[in-house]
Amino acid sequence: MELAVIRANHRATRSRTPKDAKIMTATPIMTSRPGVPFVADDPRWARIVARDRNADGHLWYSVSTTGVYCRPSCPSRTANPRNVQLHDTLASARATGFRPCRRCNPDGPSIESGNAALVAKACRIIAESEEEPSLSRLADAVCRSPSYFHRVFKAATGLTPKDYAVAYRARKVRQELAHGNTITETIYEAGFNSSGRFYEKATDMLGMTPSQYRAGGVNEEIRFAVGPTSLGVILVASSRKGVASILLGDDPNELVRNLQERFPKALLIGADRNYEALVARVVGFVEAPRIGLDLPLDVRCTAFEQRVWRALQDVPRSPGSAGVGRQRLPV
Ligand SMILES: [Zn+2]
Protein backbone atom coordinates (compact mmCIF):
# COMPACT_ATOMS: atom_id res chain seq x y z
CA MET A 1 0.00 0.00 0.00
CA GLU A 2 2.83 2.33 0.86
CA LEU A 3 4.51 1.51 -2.43
CA ALA A 4 1.41 2.51 -4.33
CA VAL A 5 1.46 5.90 -2.62
CA ILE A 6 5.03 6.53 -3.59
CA ARG A 7 4.29 5.54 -7.18
CA ALA A 8 1.24 7.80 -7.31
CA ASN A 9 3.24 10.73 -6.00
CA HIS A 10 5.96 10.01 -8.48
CA ARG A 11 3.52 10.02 -11.41
CA ALA A 12 1.94 13.24 -10.22
CA THR A 13 5.26 15.00 -10.01
CA ARG A 14 7.04 13.68 -13.09
CA SER A 15 6.19 16.62 -15.35
CA ARG A 16 6.91 19.25 -12.74
CA THR A 17 10.11 21.01 -11.84
CA PRO A 18 12.21 19.40 -9.11
CA LYS A 19 11.26 22.26 -6.78
CA ASP A 20 7.54 21.61 -7.34
CA ALA A 21 8.13 17.91 -6.98
CA LYS A 22 9.55 18.45 -3.54
CA ILE A 23 6.47 20.46 -2.48
CA MET A 24 4.10 17.87 -3.96
CA THR A 25 5.76 15.04 -2.10
CA ALA A 26 5.45 16.95 1.13
CA THR A 27 1.76 17.73 0.54
CA PRO A 28 -0.48 14.98 1.88
CA ILE A 29 -2.59 14.25 -1.18
CA MET A 30 -3.87 11.14 0.58
CA THR A 31 -3.53 9.48 3.93
CA SER A 32 -0.13 8.12 3.22
CA ARG A 33 1.47 7.59 6.59
CA PRO A 34 2.95 4.12 6.87
CA GLY A 35 0.43 1.67 8.27
CA VAL A 36 -2.51 4.04 7.71
CA PRO A 37 -5.02 2.70 5.15
CA PHE A 38 -6.08 4.59 2.05
CA VAL A 39 -8.93 6.99 2.60
CA ALA A 40 -11.17 4.86 0.39
CA ASP A 41 -10.65 1.89 2.74
CA ASP A 42 -11.20 3.93 5.88
CA PRO A 43 -14.59 3.34 7.56
CA ARG A 44 -14.81 7.09 8.14
CA TRP A 45 -14.83 7.63 4.39
CA ALA A 46 -17.96 5.45 4.09
CA ARG A 47 -19.72 7.88 6.44
CA ILE A 48 -18.73 10.78 4.20
CA VAL A 49 -19.94 8.97 1.08
CA ALA A 50 -23.24 8.33 2.91
CA ARG A 51 -23.33 12.02 4.00
CA ASP A 52 -23.96 10.71 7.50
CA ARG A 53 -25.28 13.60 9.57
CA ASN A 54 -24.50 11.72 12.76
CA ALA A 55 -20.82 12.06 11.90
CA ASP A 56 -21.08 15.87 11.81
CA GLY A 57 -19.10 17.36 14.65
CA HIS A 58 -16.92 14.24 14.94
CA LEU A 59 -15.24 14.12 11.56
CA TRP A 60 -14.14 16.53 8.81
CA TYR A 61 -12.45 16.08 5.48
CA SER A 62 -10.33 18.31 3.31
CA VAL A 63 -10.01 18.11 -0.46
CA SER A 64 -6.65 19.09 -1.88
CA THR A 65 -7.96 19.75 -5.42
CA THR A 66 -10.55 22.30 -4.31
CA GLY A 67 -8.72 23.63 -1.26
CA VAL A 68 -11.74 23.36 1.02
CA TYR A 69 -12.67 21.35 4.06
CA CYS A 70 -16.17 20.01 4.74
CA ARG A 71 -18.36 18.27 7.29
CA PRO A 72 -19.41 14.67 6.45
CA SER A 73 -22.98 15.64 5.50
CA CYS A 74 -21.83 18.21 2.91
CA PRO A 75 -24.21 18.06 -0.07
CA SER A 76 -21.40 18.75 -2.55
CA ARG A 77 -20.44 16.10 -5.09
CA THR A 78 -18.42 13.31 -3.48
CA ALA A 79 -14.71 14.03 -3.86
CA ASN A 80 -12.22 11.56 -5.20
CA PRO A 81 -10.86 9.86 -2.07
CA ARG A 82 -7.36 10.10 -3.51
CA ASN A 83 -7.56 13.86 -2.99
CA VAL A 84 -9.07 13.65 0.46
CA GLN A 85 -7.61 13.83 3.91
CA LEU A 86 -9.68 12.88 6.96
CA HIS A 87 -9.62 14.86 10.18
CA ASP A 88 -10.90 13.88 13.60
CA THR A 89 -10.82 17.46 14.85
CA LEU A 90 -11.83 20.78 13.36
CA ALA A 91 -8.41 22.15 14.34
CA SER A 92 -6.75 19.53 12.17
CA ALA A 93 -8.96 20.44 9.19
CA ARG A 94 -8.16 24.13 9.68
CA ALA A 95 -4.46 23.37 9.95
CA THR A 96 -4.47 22.40 6.27
CA GLY A 97 -4.77 26.10 5.48
CA PHE A 98 -7.76 25.33 3.26
CA ARG A 99 -10.92 27.40 3.47
CA PRO A 100 -14.20 26.23 5.04
CA CYS A 101 -16.76 25.05 2.45
CA ARG A 102 -19.52 27.59 1.86
CA ARG A 103 -22.15 24.92 1.30
CA CYS A 104 -21.83 22.96 4.54
CA ASN A 105 -20.26 25.57 6.84
CA PRO A 106 -18.00 23.08 8.65
CA ASP A 107 -16.95 25.66 11.28
CA GLY A 108 -20.47 26.40 12.47
CA PRO A 109 -23.73 24.61 13.04
CA SER A 110 -24.82 22.23 10.28
CA ILE A 111 -27.45 23.35 7.81
CA GLU A 112 -29.90 20.89 9.36
CA SER A 113 -29.31 22.02 12.91
CA GLY A 114 -29.45 25.66 11.78
CA ASN A 115 -32.78 24.95 10.07
CA ALA A 116 -33.98 22.98 13.08
CA ALA A 117 -33.31 26.03 15.24
CA LEU A 118 -35.49 28.12 12.88
CA VAL A 119 -38.27 25.55 12.99
CA ALA A 120 -38.08 25.22 16.78
CA LYS A 121 -38.29 29.00 17.10
CA ALA A 122 -41.35 29.11 14.82
CA CYS A 123 -42.99 26.33 16.85
CA ARG A 124 -42.42 28.32 20.05
CA ILE A 125 -44.07 31.34 18.43
CA ILE A 126 -47.02 29.16 17.39
CA ALA A 127 -47.29 27.83 20.95
CA GLU A 128 -47.17 31.27 22.51
CA SER A 129 -49.46 33.09 20.07
CA GLU A 130 -53.04 33.70 21.06
CA GLU A 131 -54.17 33.35 17.46
CA GLU A 132 -52.70 31.26 14.67
CA PRO A 133 -49.72 33.23 13.29
CA SER A 134 -49.57 33.73 9.52
CA LEU A 135 -46.83 32.21 7.36
CA SER A 136 -45.33 35.63 6.67
CA ARG A 137 -45.21 36.50 10.37
CA LEU A 138 -43.39 33.25 11.16
CA ALA A 139 -41.00 33.69 8.22
CA ASP A 140 -40.27 37.27 9.33
CA ALA A 141 -39.57 36.10 12.86
CA VAL A 142 -36.86 33.73 11.62
CA CYS A 143 -35.58 36.19 8.97
CA ARG A 144 -36.28 33.93 5.99
CA SER A 145 -38.53 34.24 2.97
CA PRO A 146 -41.97 32.63 3.36
CA SER A 147 -41.27 30.07 0.63
CA TYR A 148 -37.88 29.06 2.04
CA PHE A 149 -39.25 28.86 5.57
CA HIS A 150 -42.24 26.81 4.40
CA ARG A 151 -39.93 24.33 2.64
CA VAL A 152 -37.58 24.02 5.61
CA PHE A 153 -40.48 23.57 8.03
CA LYS A 154 -42.06 20.86 5.92
CA ALA A 155 -38.74 19.02 5.52
CA ALA A 156 -38.11 19.04 9.28
CA THR A 157 -41.61 18.14 10.53
CA GLY A 158 -43.46 16.52 7.62
CA LEU A 159 -46.11 19.22 8.11
CA THR A 160 -46.74 22.72 6.86
CA PRO A 161 -46.55 25.48 9.49
CA LYS A 162 -50.33 25.77 9.16
CA ASP A 163 -50.80 22.02 9.86
CA TYR A 164 -48.56 22.31 12.88
CA ALA A 165 -50.48 25.32 14.21
CA VAL A 166 -53.77 23.46 13.71
CA ALA A 167 -52.35 20.46 15.59
CA TYR A 168 -51.08 22.60 18.40
CA ARG A 169 -54.40 24.34 18.80
CA ALA A 170 -56.36 21.08 18.68
CA ARG A 171 -54.12 19.67 21.38
CA LYS A 172 -54.82 22.75 23.48
CA VAL A 173 -58.56 22.30 22.99
CA ARG A 174 -58.33 18.69 24.22
CA GLN A 175 -56.26 19.72 27.23
CA GLU A 176 -58.62 22.54 28.19
CA LEU A 177 -61.68 20.31 27.94
CA ALA A 178 -59.97 17.44 29.77
CA HIS A 179 -59.15 19.82 32.62
CA GLY A 180 -62.84 20.57 32.96
CA ASN A 181 -62.82 24.06 31.47
CA THR A 182 -66.06 25.23 29.92
CA ILE A 183 -66.48 25.21 26.16
CA THR A 184 -66.54 29.02 26.13
CA GLU A 185 -63.27 29.17 28.08
CA THR A 186 -61.76 26.59 25.74
CA ILE A 187 -62.75 28.52 22.62
CA TYR A 188 -61.11 31.61 24.08
CA GLU A 189 -57.98 29.90 25.42
CA ALA A 190 -57.30 28.04 22.19
CA GLY A 191 -57.51 31.28 20.20
CA PHE A 192 -60.60 30.61 18.08
CA ASN A 193 -62.01 33.92 17.01
CA SER A 194 -65.54 32.60 16.72
CA SER A 195 -67.53 29.74 18.21
CA GLY A 196 -68.70 28.90 14.68
CA ARG A 197 -65.09 28.19 13.62
CA PHE A 198 -64.60 26.10 16.74
CA TYR A 199 -67.69 23.92 16.21
CA GLU A 200 -66.79 23.50 12.56
CA LYS A 201 -63.50 21.87 13.58
CA ALA A 202 -64.67 20.16 16.77
CA THR A 203 -65.24 16.65 15.43
CA ASP A 204 -61.87 16.66 13.66
CA MET A 205 -60.17 17.69 16.90
CA LEU A 206 -62.13 15.52 19.35
CA GLY A 207 -63.86 12.70 17.50
CA MET A 208 -67.08 13.70 19.29
CA THR A 209 -68.95 16.82 20.36
CA PRO A 210 -67.13 19.16 22.75
CA SER A 211 -69.73 18.54 25.46
CA GLN A 212 -69.37 14.77 25.12
CA TYR A 213 -65.59 15.10 25.29
CA ARG A 214 -65.80 17.30 28.34
CA ALA A 215 -68.16 14.80 29.96
CA GLY A 216 -65.61 11.98 29.63
CA GLY A 217 -66.79 10.51 26.33
CA VAL A 218 -70.33 9.90 27.46
CA ASN A 219 -72.37 7.67 25.08
CA GLU A 220 -69.35 6.93 22.89
CA GLU A 221 -67.70 3.70 21.83
CA ILE A 222 -63.97 4.23 21.52
CA ARG A 223 -61.64 1.71 19.91
CA PHE A 224 -57.98 1.90 20.75
CA ALA A 225 -54.71 0.31 19.69
CA VAL A 226 -51.21 0.49 21.14
CA GLY A 227 -48.04 -0.05 19.18
CA PRO A 228 -44.35 0.79 18.88
CA THR A 229 -43.00 3.79 16.94
CA SER A 230 -39.62 5.44 16.49
CA LEU A 231 -40.63 7.92 19.22
CA GLY A 232 -41.81 5.38 21.78
CA VAL A 233 -45.17 3.71 22.31
CA ILE A 234 -48.25 5.19 20.67
CA LEU A 235 -51.87 4.81 21.67
CA VAL A 236 -54.45 5.77 19.08
CA ALA A 237 -58.15 5.92 19.91
CA SER A 238 -61.12 6.61 17.64
CA SER A 239 -64.84 6.96 18.13
CA ARG A 240 -67.24 6.21 15.29
CA LYS A 241 -67.02 9.88 14.31
CA GLY A 242 -63.27 10.28 14.25
CA VAL A 243 -59.94 10.24 16.08
CA ALA A 244 -60.41 11.00 19.77
CA SER A 245 -56.94 10.68 21.20
CA ILE A 246 -53.33 10.04 20.26
CA LEU A 247 -50.88 9.57 23.10
CA LEU A 248 -47.13 8.97 22.99
CA GLY A 249 -45.13 7.62 25.90
CA ASP A 250 -42.85 4.88 27.16
CA ASP A 251 -45.25 2.58 28.99
CA PRO A 252 -48.25 1.07 27.18
CA ASN A 253 -50.12 0.43 30.45
CA GLU A 254 -49.74 4.04 31.48
CA LEU A 255 -51.09 5.20 28.11
CA VAL A 256 -54.15 2.96 28.53
CA ARG A 257 -54.67 4.36 32.06
CA ASN A 258 -54.45 7.89 30.62
CA LEU A 259 -57.09 6.99 28.06
CA GLN A 260 -59.38 5.57 30.79
CA GLU A 261 -58.93 8.74 32.85
CA ARG A 262 -59.74 10.93 29.88
CA PHE A 263 -62.84 8.95 28.84
CA PRO A 264 -64.27 7.43 32.04
CA LYS A 265 -67.81 7.44 30.59
CA ALA A 266 -67.02 5.86 27.23
CA LEU A 267 -67.04 2.20 26.29
CA LEU A 268 -63.37 1.52 25.54
CA ILE A 269 -62.72 -1.35 23.16
CA GLY A 270 -59.20 -2.76 22.82
CA ALA A 271 -57.93 -5.75 20.83
CA ASP A 272 -60.03 -4.97 17.75
CA ARG A 273 -57.90 -6.62 15.06
CA ASN A 274 -59.16 -4.46 12.22
CA TYR A 275 -58.53 -1.28 14.12
CA GLU A 276 -55.09 -2.46 15.27
CA ALA A 277 -54.16 -3.30 11.68
CA LEU A 278 -55.38 0.10 10.51
CA VAL A 279 -53.35 1.93 13.16
CA ALA A 280 -50.24 -0.14 12.42
CA ARG A 281 -50.59 0.67 8.74
CA VAL A 282 -51.08 4.38 9.35
CA VAL A 283 -48.17 4.61 11.81
CA GLY A 284 -45.93 2.77 9.36
CA PHE A 285 -47.02 5.13 6.62
CA VAL A 286 -46.19 8.33 8.52
CA GLU A 287 -43.04 7.04 10.23
CA ALA A 288 -40.06 9.12 9.20
CA PRO A 289 -37.39 8.34 11.79
CA ARG A 290 -34.78 10.33 9.93
CA ILE A 291 -36.56 13.66 9.80
CA GLY A 292 -36.46 16.29 12.51
CA LEU A 293 -33.65 14.65 14.47
CA ASP A 294 -32.38 18.05 15.56
CA LEU A 295 -35.79 19.30 16.73
CA PRO A 296 -36.87 19.44 20.39
CA LEU A 297 -38.65 16.22 21.36
CA ASP A 298 -41.99 17.91 22.10
CA VAL A 299 -42.03 19.40 18.58
CA ARG A 300 -41.18 16.02 17.03
CA CYS A 301 -43.94 14.35 19.05
CA THR A 302 -46.55 16.98 18.15
CA ALA A 303 -45.63 16.71 14.47
CA PHE A 304 -45.71 12.91 14.57
CA GLU A 305 -49.08 12.82 16.34
CA GLN A 306 -50.49 15.19 13.79
CA ARG A 307 -49.21 13.11 10.86
CA VAL A 308 -50.93 10.05 12.37
CA TRP A 309 -54.08 12.04 13.11
CA ARG A 310 -54.30 13.40 9.58
CA ALA A 311 -53.56 10.05 7.93
CA LEU A 312 -56.33 8.43 9.99
CA GLN A 313 -58.74 11.13 8.92
CA ASP A 314 -57.88 10.27 5.34
CA VAL A 315 -58.88 6.62 5.75
CA PRO A 316 -62.18 5.95 3.93
CA ARG A 317 -65.10 5.58 6.25
CA SER A 318 -66.94 2.29 6.11
CA PRO A 319 -69.79 0.90 8.24
CA GLY A 320 -68.42 0.00 11.66
CA SER A 321 -65.05 1.50 10.76
CA ALA A 322 -63.38 3.69 13.33
CA GLY A 323 -61.68 5.80 10.69
CA VAL A 324 -63.22 8.94 9.32
CA GLY A 325 -62.34 9.93 5.89
CA ARG A 326 -62.26 12.15 2.93
CA GLN A 327 -59.76 10.44 0.67
CA ARG A 328 -58.02 7.12 0.39
CA LEU A 329 -54.82 6.69 2.36
CA PRO A 330 -51.95 6.60 -0.12
CA VAL A 331 -49.98 3.35 -0.06
ZN1 LIG B 1 -18.87 21.22 2.17
198-233 confidence digits (pLDDT tens): 999 999 999 999 999 999 999 999 999 999 999 999
74 is catalytic: yes
Within a domain: residue 8?
Answer: yes
The Å distance, Cα 99 to ligand 1 centre, comes to 10
- Report whether pLDDT(18) > 90: no
Which pLDDT score is estimated for 193? 84
Within a domain: residue 90?
Answer: yes
Within a domain: residue 203?
Answer: no
Within a domain: residue 38?
Answer: yes
The Å distance, Cα 77 to ligand 1 centre, comes to 9
104 is catalytic: yes
Average pLDDT (47-70) is: 93
Which pLDDT score is estimated for 94? 95
The Å distance, Cα 157 to ligand 1 centre, comes to 24
Which pLDDT score is estimated for 324? 44
- Report whether pLDDT(48) > 90: yes
Which pLDDT score is estimated for 226? 96
Q: Which is higher by pLDDT, 206 or 131? A: 206
Name the domain count of the chain. 1
Q: Which is higher by pLDDT, 3 or 40? A: 40
Cβ neighbours of residue 168 closer than 8 Å, sequence gap 6 or more: 123, 126, 127, 302
Confidence of residue 319 (pLDDT cuts 50, 70, 90): very low
Within a domain: residue 286?
Answer: no
Which pLDDT score is estimated for 21? 39
Within a domain: residue 74?
Answer: yes
pTM for the full predicted model: 0.69
* pLDDT cut 90: percent of the chain above it: 67
Which pLDDT score is estimated for 290? 76
- Report whether pLDDT(3) > 70: no
Q: What pLDDT, in 10s, does the model give residues 69-85?
A: 999 999 999 999 999 99
- Report whether pLDDT(170) > 80: yes
Tell me the pLDDT of the chain averaged across its residues: 85
Lowest mean pLDDT among 110-114, 137-141, 197-201: 110-114
Which pLDDT score is estimated for 271? 86
- Report whether pLDDT(22) > 60: no
Confidence of residue 36 (pLDDT cuts 50, 70, 90): low
The Å distance, Cα 102 to ligand 1 centre, comes to 6
The CATH number for 61's domain is 3.40.10.10
The range of the structural domain enclosing residue 30 comes to: 2-100
Catalytic residue among 74, 123, 143, 301: 74
The Å distance, Cα 76 to ligand 1 centre, comes to 6
Which pLDDT score is estimated for 34? 53
143 is catalytic: no
Confidence of residue 38 (pLDDT cuts 50, 70, 90): confident
Q: What pLDDT, in 10s, does the model give residues 267-287?
A: 999 989 999 999 999 999 898
Within a domain: residue 70?
Answer: yes
- Report whether pLDDT(33) > 60: no
Q: Which is higher by pLDDT, 294 or 180? A: 180
Which pLDDT score is estimated for 29? 44
